[in-house]
Amino acid sequence: MYLNQYLFLAAVLFCIGVYGVLSRRHAVLVLMSVEIMLNAVNINLIAFSVHIQEVSGQVFALFVITVAAAEVGVGLAIVILIYRNLASPYLDQVDSLKG
């Protein structure tokens, strides 16, 4: 098993995630992209954890999953509130902080 395969997969996933966050207009899709990025990080953590024979990386991945779940909860609540206020889920219409 080569470590770099996993790292490559994680890097690709991460880039997809970044692309999604930056380019999607729909708030839910942006949240999903964030999840992809987090999971890319999880893959890295677990890959390294196996590589250096140290279990704490996997524990950390579990923590990330937990926090990600909480983050989605908060994120979706914010999305719903945005939708209620603007009647639109598109992030490029949320610009009331424009200077």
Q: Is 18 in the site for another protein (CB under 8 A)?
A: yes
Tell me whether residue 53 or residue 96 sits nearer to another protein (CB atom): 96
Distance of CA 92 to the CA centre of its chain: 20
The interface mask with another protein, positions 25-44, x = CB under 8 A, is: -----x--------------
Q: Is 21 in the site for another protein (CB under 8 A)?
A: yes
Q: Is 7 in the site for another protein (CB under 8 A)?
A: no
Q: Is 16 in the site for another protein (CB under 8 A)?
A: no
Q: Binder to another protein among 1, 4, 55, 96 (CB under 8 A)?
A: 96
Q: Is 97 in the site for another protein (CB under 8 A)?
A: yes
DSSP labels, 68-95: HHHHHHHHHHHHHHHHHHHS--BGGG--
CB of 27 to another protein, least distance (A): 9
Asked if 36 contacts 18 with a C-beta cutoff of 8 angstroms, the reply is no
Task: Please state the length of the chain.
Answer: 99
CA atoms of 55 and 19, how far apart (whole Å): 31
CA atoms of 6 and 87, how far apart (whole Å): 41
